[in-house]
Amino acid sequence: MGERRMTGEAGMTGRIGVTGGCRGVGRSEPRPDGVSKVEGLFSYVGDLSVPGMLHARTLRSPHPRARIRRLDTAAAAALPGVAAVVTAADVPGLATYGLIVSDQPVFAAAETRYAGEPVAAVAAVDAATARRALAAIEVEYEPLPPLVDPERALEPGAELVHPDGNVFRKITLRHGDPAVEGSVVVEDSYVVGMQDQAFLAPEAALVVPAADGGVDLWVATQWLHSDREQIAACLGLPEALVRLELAGIGGAFGGREDVTLQIHGALLALATGSPVRIAYDRVESFLGHPHRHPARMWFRHTATPAGDLVSVQARVVMDGGAYASSSPAVLANAVTHAAGPYRVPHARLDGLVVRTNNPPCGAMRGFGVPQVAFGHEAQMDRLADRLGMDPVALRVRNALVPGDVLPTGQVLGPPLPAREAIEAVAARPLPPRLTDDTPRTARPGGRAAGAPISRIRRGVGYALGYKNLLFSEGMDDSSTARIRLALDDAGQPFATVHSACSEVGQGFVTIAGQIARTELGVERIELLPADTRVGSAGSTSASRQTWMSGGAVRGACVAVVDRLLARVARALGLPAEVVESPRRALVIDEGEIIGAETGTRLALTEALAAGPVEAEYTFHHRRTTALDEHGQGDPHVAFAAAAHRAVVDVDPDLGLVRVVALALAQDCGTVINPLSLRGQVEGGTAQGLGLAVMEELVTVGGVVTNPTLHDYLLPTAADVPALDFVALTYPHPDSPYGAKGVGETPTCTATAAIVAAIRDAVGRDLRRVPVRPVDLVDLADRDDWDDRDEPVDAAPAASADRPDAADRPDVVDRPDVVDRPDVVDRPDVVDRPEVVLREGHR
């Protein structure tokens, strides 16, 4: 995309010079973009501008379901300052797009299927004019009754929300002997509300029409190449004419995996021949991207009186909203993780993800797993209670160990320190009790509430979970990187790293530099902007980029070193077999090439004098398989485990919760950057806290009622306690350096642990999240309370699937409380031998 610079020198998007010493993998290197970020000079996508650019805004349907009878843009287009108005009629290529299934219209044409669905977009000289033009677009809607209850959408004869049908995917997993059950049974239903990623920088893009008939886009996306494929198809352009460069991203968390405004902006840029900045405000951001799936779940766990799980039965119904997004993959995650990280000989796990007239749902941190973790961990606590067992002991007893068979039939490979994780958090010191000296700011409700200490109840809760890493079900989500090693103008060696990996804040830019420095022994590393001039890096999701794009950067570096050493071997007249595999005779270290036996030293600068060395490498993870008709297969590449312990104080009179302390032990593999790791697990924990006690996008009749930061509550510094973190660092044999992705796993367990602690404090069932004040207080007329809530019962309707309650065996032989195993002197970081895989590891 040429040498275009955005908004001044410090604000170059993506072009991040990495400087500093040869510190490399394993160190807490600072972010290369950190200085520009703390100084306010880093350019985010919404900060970009070019002279003469137009400003674009989007018209959205206010109705969850309506027929569009008439759409007249003439008045809007005639307004002074309006450059173009586009609708479905102006889409030259494919009318729909989508991550997995192309079912989402670029603009609604005949029918709108959710409140907030784009109907038209306008480009004008400024944003205010564009907004006035939106108001001038005449749309005649015929509102239709929306289908907003996912169970109703499944009923025979239910009206179809979309010609493709009302079920995005159904999974019926059968493992072991479905008839076998243990004598101790717990069964209940659970509900998870709709969470939003609520990344801080709202959606925006800058689109510039090109002389060759194509477009150049600066976008904030998690997956450049998937965006390009979808945009090009809708524009009717070859992909080569659609060029994307990553602009600065202010958070993503799954919410930027889908295309939102990119195609609209491109249509307007092509229609006007002018650069277009298209942007959402906060309300639009809440309406514009898919959310975390709400779920209704029913679980039936059975165990032996000694506390060994015998069977898990589950039915998970997820509301996918109007369009598919990543729903099919989210459901697979939910179903295959529904039993949790436990040894379960017999499983019947059913999942459905359903189309409704609610807002579309897709990827959010954890991707289907936080929902089921909330359910299976509530069940484990109930089972422990029924058995009279300590909840930690029950988890320790049943925790998966490598070699165990998962409900999919997949054999668990090493390592998965699930047992170690729950033991580690249980061993952490507990926070002190409240006293009369505890400041109000440290009590439930903060400064304003001020409950007397005597009324506040404390509770402690645990959760253990695991999460798959990388894409599953046979996907080959490879990542490509290109490395060039050359001399700079001053004659010093420097390397450029080119990867299309989206930096969303997670720190790939940091570790890419660390890896290159480690592998090349060169101090100066320059990261080229992430763009579509290099092969796909795949999505920044599924905890995959450290492994996949880290692996690609590493592989390309290794290839560069091999080529350089071969050149040196050739120049030195070494035998052909040394030229073939020069690492036997030569090593590269700290800017020098050293003869392994001879000790001869050659400066890298001399070796590079003959010209730069380049290599491209594509990293693939091991092959997995699709699920068969019984949900069996080898679907997941790898897993990471985590356990949280939460301590809460609850004011039961006002229904206020304060999360007092959180401990986390997480399976991280080899740590590439300890500081980045800590930031990831703290941030992931905070998002789990949000789902536990405050975050919910509320819909009434399909319409989101709280799309603002006034009404959608995000955790603040006053809500999130310090995290007591234990890193379990067992290297994974298949990943670069043994690292594992770390961003999602803590989000999967934090919610469950916090709600467990609230249950412990107040003695209520609490079968839905987020837990609201009304769920914690005694309302005399609770039955009359106008509850917008969905019914909590999610049990299967067919009696064949649901054992009659009367048949439920009584608990027999209730054992005495099993003592929690002692965990002594566990260090903060459980160290395992560091993997040293420097040479040619693939």
Partner 1 sequence: MSTGGVGPDGAGAGAAGMRAGVGVGVGVDADAVSAGVLSLSYRLNIDGVRRAVADARIEESLLTVLRERLGVTAVKDACEQGRCGSCSVLLDDRLVLACTVLAADAVDARVVTVAGLGAGGPAADIQAAFLEHGAVQCGFCTPGMVVAVTDLLGRRPSADEDEIRDALAGNVCRCTGYGRIIAAVRDVQASRAQAATTTGTVRWANGA
By CB under 8 A, what part of segment 229-268 binds partner 1? 249-253
Nearer to partner 1, 61 or 685 (CB): 685
CB closer to partner 1, 217 vs 766: 217
Candidate segments 1-9, 173-181, 321-329, 422-430, binder of partner 1 by CB under 8 A? 1-9
User: Does residue 35 touch partner 1 according to CB under 8 A?
Assistant: yes
Assess contact for 197 and 291: CB atoms under 8 A: yes
Residues that contact partner 1, how many (by CB under 8 A): 81
- Residue of 26, 81, 345, 446 interacting with partner 1 (CB under 8 A): 446
Closest approach of Cβ 738 to partner 1, in Å? 22
Q: Does 738 bind partner 1 (CB under 8 A)?
A: no
Among 50, 77, 158, 401, binds partner 1 (CB under 8 A): 50
- Is position 41 an interface residue for partner 1 (rule: CB under 8 A)? yes
Confirm or reject binding of residue 183 to partner 1 (CB under 8 A): no
Dihedral angle sign, alpha carbons of residues 494, 498, 499, 502: positive
**Does 705 contact partner 1 by CB under 8 A?**
no
Stretch that binds partner 1, among 92-100, 141-149, 208-216, 752-760 (CB under 8 A): 208-216
201 is a contact residue toward partner 1 (CB under 8 A): yes
For residues 654 and 449, is the Cβ–Cβ distance under 8 A?
yes
Q: Which of 74, 78, 110, 200 binds partner 1 (CB under 8 A)?
A: 200
User: Please, what is the minimum distance in Å from the beta carbon of residue 546 to partner 1?
Assistant: 14
**Strand residue runs (E) in 579-684:** 586-589, 592-595, 601-603, 613-619, 638-651, 656-667
Which of 373, 318, 387 minimizes the C-alpha distance to 342? 373
For residues 215 and 604, which CB has a smaller minimum distance to partner 1 in the complex? Answer: 215
Figure out which of the listed residues 14, 16, 18, 43 binds partner 1, where binding follows CB under 8 A.
43
Nearer to partner 1, 60 or 382 (CB): 60
Candidate residues 11, 98, 459, 741; the one interacting with partner 1 per rule CB under 8 A: 11
Token output for 105 = 């219209």
Provide the CB-side half-sphere exposure for 125 (13 A, CA).
Answer: 4
- Whether residue 292 contacts residue 361, with contact meaning beta carbons closer than 8 Å, is answered with yes
In whole angstroms, the minimum distance from the beta carbon of 38 to partner 1 comes to 4
- Tell me the chain's radius of gyration from C-alpha atoms: 28
We find the least distance from the C-beta atom of residue 119 to partner 1, in angstroms, to be: 23
Q: Does 30 bind partner 1 (CB under 8 A)?
A: yes
> To 10 degrees, what angle do helices 224-235 and 262-272 make?
50
Backbone angles phi, psi at 488, to 5 degrees: -85, -175
- Residue with Cβ nearer partner 1 (592 or 719): 719
Cβ proximity to partner 1, 275 vs 328, nearer residue: 275
Site string for partner 1, 410-439 (x = CB under 8 A): -----------------------------x
Question: Please, which residue, 251 or 803, has the CB nearer to partner 1?
Answer: 251
Instruction: At 422, list the tokens.
Output: 């729950």
Identify the CA nearest to 251 among candidates 281, 220, 215, 223: 220
Instruction: Choose, by CB under 8 A, the member of 141, 199, 494, 617 that binds partner 1.
Output: 199
Which of positions 101-130 make contact with partner 1 (CB under 8 A)? 126-128
Site for partner 1 in 496-525 (CB under 8 A): 504-507
Do the beta carbons of residue 220 and residue 203 sit within 8 Å? yes
Which one among 28, 183, 625, 706 touches partner 1, defined by CB under 8 A? 28
CB atoms within 10 A of CB 81: 14
Alpha-carbon span 198 to 677, nearest angstrom: 21
Q: How far is the CB of 248 from partner 1 (least distance, A)?
A: 8
Question: Does the protein bind partner 1 through residue 798 (CB under 8 A)?
Answer: no
Which of 275, 351, 417, 550 binds partner 1 (CB under 8 A)? It is 275
State how far Cα 76 lies from the chain centre: 39
Q: Tell me the closest approach of the beta carbon of residue 170 to partner 1, in angstroms.
A: 34
Residues 6+ apart with CB under 8 A from 586: 565, 568, 569, 578, 593, 594, 595, 596
* Opening angle at CA 178, ends 173 and 183, nearest 5: 130
Closest among 61, 56, 39, 77 to 113, alpha carbons compared: 61
Q: What are phi and psi of 840, to 5 degrees?
A: 60, 20
Residues 292-351 interacting with partner 1 (rule: CB under 8 A)? none
Collapsing DSSP states into helix, strand and coil, what is residue 684? helix
- Report d(CA 684, CA 647) in Å as an integer: 17
Q: Please identify, using beta-carbon distances, which residue of 598 and 708 lies nearer to partner 1.
A: 708
- For partner 1, the closer of residues 26 and 821 by Cβ is 26
Tell me the closest approach of the beta carbon of residue 275 to partner 1, in angstroms: 6
Contact region with partner 1 (CB under 8 A), list: 319-327, 522-530, 606-614, 702-710 = 702-710
Q: At its nearest, how many Å lie between partner 1 and the CB of residue 6?
A: 6
- Please tell me whether residue 271 binds partner 1 under the rule CB under 8 A: no
Tell me which residue of 364, 381, 257, 380 sits closest to 318, measured CA to CA: 364
4 contributes a contact to partner 1 by CB under 8 A: yes
Q: If binding is defined by CB under 8 A, does position 772 make contact with partner 1?
A: no
| 722 touching partner 1, by CB under 8 A | yes
Residue 706 touching partner 1 (CB under 8 A): no
Contacts of 820 (CB under 8 A, 6+ apart): 390, 392, 393, 396, 426
- Which residues, other chains included, contact 141 with Cβ-Cβ below 8 Å and sequence gap of 6+? 61, 62, 63, 66, 67, 68, 69, 112
643 phi/psi in degrees, rounded to 5: -135, 140
For residue 645, what are its two tokens?
């312990």
Among 327, 685, 699, 729, binds partner 1 (CB under 8 A): 685
Near partner 1 in 578-637, by CB under 8 A = none
Other C-beta atoms lying within 10 Å of the C-beta of residue 446:
16
| C-alpha–C-alpha distance, residues 413 and 97, integer Å | 37
d(CA 353, CA 163): 16
Q: Does 211 bind partner 1 (CB under 8 A)?
A: yes
Asked if residue 714 binds partner 1 (CB under 8 A), the reply is yes
Residues 821-840 that bind partner 1 (CB under 8 A): none
Interface pick for partner 1 out of 24, 679, 701, 821 (rule CB under 8 A): 679
Question: Could you tell me the smallest distance in angstroms from the CB atom of residue 265 to partner 1?
Answer: 15
Which one of 717, 780, 798, 805 is in contact with partner 1 (CB under 8 A)? 717
Query: How far is Cα 303 from Cα 6, in angstroms, rounded to an integer?
Result: 61
Classify residue 96 by burial, with Cβ atoms within 10 Å: 0-12, 13-18, 19+: middle
Residue type, 826: R
CB of 712 to partner 1, least distance (A): 9
Minimum gap (Å) between residue 384 Cβ and partner 1: 28
Check residue 631 and report its DSSP letter.
S
Residue 683 interacts with partner 1 (CB under 8 A)? yes
Residues 523-562, interacting with partner 1 (CB under 8 A)? none
Taking the CA atoms of residue 754, residue 756, residue 759 and residue 761 in that order, the dihedral angle to the nearest 10 degrees is -60
Among 14, 47, 153, 554, binds partner 1 (CB under 8 A): 47
Binds partner 1 (CB under 8 A): choice among 340, 538, 635, 684: 684
* Closest separation in Å from C-beta 269 to partner 1: 11
Minimum CB–partner distance for residue 686 and partner 1 (Å): 3
217/329 with CB nearer partner 1? 217
Pairing of strands 346-355, 309-321: parallel
